[in-house]
Amino acid sequence: MCGIFAVLNYPTDVKCLRQKALSLSKRIRHRGPDWSGCVISGNNIFCHERLAIVGVESGAQPIISGDKSLILTVNGEIYNYKILKNKLLNQCEFVTYSDCEVIMHLYRTVGDNFVQHLDGIFSFVLYDVERKRFVAARDPIGVTTLYYGYNSSMPGAMYFASEMKCLNGTCDTILSFPPGHIYDSQTNSFVRWYQPKWWQPTTIPTTPIDYQLLRRKLIKAVKKRLMSEVPYGVLLSGGLDSSIIASIAARETKAMLRKQLEDVEDHDDEHDHDDVDGQGSMKMSDTGLKQSDNGSIGSSSGDEQTEAFWPRLHSFSIDIAAAREVANFLKTVHHEYTFTIQDGLDAVADVIYHLETYDVTTVRASTPMYLLSRKIKANGVKMVLSGEGSDEIFGGYLYFHSAPNKDAFQEEIVKRVQNLHTSDCLRANKSTMAWGLEARVPFLDLNFLDVAMTIDPNDKMCHSDRIEKYILRKAFDTSDNPEEEPFLPPNILWRQKEQFSDGVGYSWIDCLKAEAEHRIPDQEFEMAAKRWPTDTPQTKEAYWYREIFETYFPEEACTQSVVRWIPRVDWGCSTDPSGRAQKSHIQAYNVENEGA
């Protein structure tokens, strides 16, 4: 992923805006440290901050079509770009090797419904020079971030940016671009293009669970997200979701390595047959790949051999015992990092600046992810797989134990998926992209969603004999087939849910609360409603985050896109968003302690 910034229909000489546009775009250079681009056409300007993942050598943006009639700036990854190039777009002239270039050719070839052919995560602005038309779109769930804005003193001008900070101080209206929508300047309207059959919360599916189908779809989702020309890894918390993704990725990476070795050996055989005297034959070491006695793959240089950083699978975690256990089981190259509470507290302000929200749950969970992402990027990794979305899809949060019936359960999971762009997707995207690290989320694959979201909610609900996300666990439980290689150890596969912010250590949340108590005097907190009559903070921790947010984003326009997660108190849930505050967690740990 990258960072985009665009100004359309600027009312005066757009060339005079160039330096300011470059300066505004620079605010998101952390998203794309590899290269910057700027293109002016008519009274429009397009900027791009690039993180090179695919088409590394020739994928600079903005992309201009060969006939100069289309201009495109994109943040995202198009997983089916090769299929599109080979079938639907096989007559088109491509000017780069970027996966994103297919967007402009689809626009020209297919017409107004072109976005529906894309399988990936994306936010883009495309300009049709001849028709003086621009369209902007965002991926179905909102894995990528996109904002748009206006300035009342410049009617008709429209701004787009990957992060709100580009528009802060320039626009007096700033809104989050709705996921699954496309904007067309010809009609000046937003239209929802993503409309799966499960999208209506009141539609209750009746399809029974097919465990094999669910497993196949998730495996395929992970496999397509390993599309990369740069080092990648997996985020591993030791919980169910990240562990399943890591397990699948480990299997797929091993398969790719085996394929590479087979290709090398075939190449050696061809040279041996072609070159009878043996002169010039290629050995495995000449390709940069070498196999050791234990079967591991390494890179070779002269007489030295070292473990290759990539394409071997590397896993990254904060120092958690469960993550270490999973890594040992999967035989990943595992990296653990330990952060002090003070490290986390010192980072909170920076986290809020990058997140552009003051939501308590998001800030709590994002801080350790933000710190970990910096360490990962320091290892030379540009892309990681992550487990976001599973809890929303399967009702994995502990408060789902309190769902009164299956209709309410289904309605809640649909609403949670629809709002992922305000919470977990926002966290995963901005916490990682703060350091130029791209997070990919297999659970939000559209084909997987079409299966998982249409399962009868009664199969997903937590019953007396069923732990949360039972069907996901069961789909990857191979205990009934001894001949099949297990995906995970049983104690990991059937471990109770821990929210990420809880899982990294309960002391983290306790210290955040204590720090807020120390920082915010009682008399100030009592005046919270007067200071913020709208969306008033209900705790000192929320007050603290709101205060930090205002130091970076003082404009009223900046709060328009912020959405806070509100617990389901109508289900009898605690107002504290922490998972350990839920009744099911308390009961489970009381039972555990009684048996200790």
* pLDDT tens-digit map of 40-71: 999 999 999 999 888 787 778 999 999 999 99
Query: In this structure, how many other beta carbons lie within 10 angstroms of the beta carbon of residue 189?
Result: 10
Mean predicted confidence (pLDDT) in 341-369: 96
Tell me the two tokens of residue 503: 């899982």
What stretch of H or E contains 90? none
Which residue type does 222 have?
V
Could you tell me whether strands 232-235 and 438-440 are parallel, antiparallel, or unpaired per DSSP bridges?
unpaired
**Domain match, 45 and 136 both:** yes
Is 235 annotated in a binding site? The answer is yes
Q: Find out whether 103 and 120 touch, Cβ atoms under 8 Å.
A: no
pLDDT band at 269 (very low <50, low <70, confident <90, very high): low
Q: Find out whether 75 and 3 touch, Cβ atoms under 8 Å.
A: yes
Residue 284 has pLDDT above 90, yes or no: no
**Domain match, 153 and 53 both:** yes
Task: Give me the phi and psi of 278, to 5 degrees please.
Answer: 85, -5
Q: Find out whether 240 and 442 touch, Cβ atoms under 8 Å.
A: no
Which residue type does 581 have?
A
pLDDT band at 583 (very low <50, low <70, confident <90, very high): low
pLDDT at 267: 64
The reply to whether 301 falls in a domain is: no
Tell me the two tokens of residue 37: 């681009």
CATH code of 330's domain: 3.40.50.620
Which residue type does 288 have?
G
Better pLDDT: 521 or 593 = 521
The reply to whether 231 falls in a domain is: yes
**Domain match, 317 and 186 both:** no
Residue 277 has pLDDT above 70, yes or no: no
The reply to whether 535 falls in a domain is: no
**Domain match, 174 and 218 both:** no
**Which range has highest mean pLDDT (176-185, 272-281, 557-566)?**
176-185
d(CA 27, CA 347): 19
Residue 155 has pLDDT above 70, yes or no: yes
Compute the Cα dihedral for 463, 469, 473, 475 and give only its sign.
Answer: positive
The reply to whether 408 falls in a domain is: yes
Is 318 annotated in a binding site? The answer is yes
**Domain match, 176 and 221 both:** no
Q: Of the given ranges (305-309, 321-325, 388-392, 565-569), which has the lowest mean pLDDT? A: 305-309
What stretch of H or E contains 345? helix 341-355
Domain that holds residue 18: 3-192
pLDDT band at 565 (very low <50, low <70, confident <90, very high): confident
Mean predicted confidence (pLDDT) in 362-378: 96
Query: In this structure, how many other beta carbons lie within 10 angstroms of the beta carbon of residue 494?
Result: 15
Residue 139 has pLDDT above 90, yes or no: yes
421-447: pLDDT as tens digits:
999 999 999 999 999 999 999 999 999
Number of separate domains in the chain? 2
Mean predicted confidence (pLDDT) in 109-128: 97
Share of the chain above pLDDT 70, in %: 87
Task: Give me the phi and psi of 503, to 5 degrees please.
Answer: -65, -25
93: helix, coil or strand? Answer: coil
Mean predicted confidence (pLDDT) in 153-157: 93
pLDDT at 572: 81
Q: Respond yes or no: is residue 573 known to be catalytic.
A: no
pLDDT band at 305 (very low <50, low <70, confident <90, very high): very low
Q: Which listed residue (2, 425, 558, 573) is catalytic?
A: 2
pLDDT at 594: 45
Compute the Cα dihedral for 449, 74, 227, 330 and give only its sign.
Answer: negative
pLDDT band at 231 (very low <50, low <70, confident <90, very high): confident
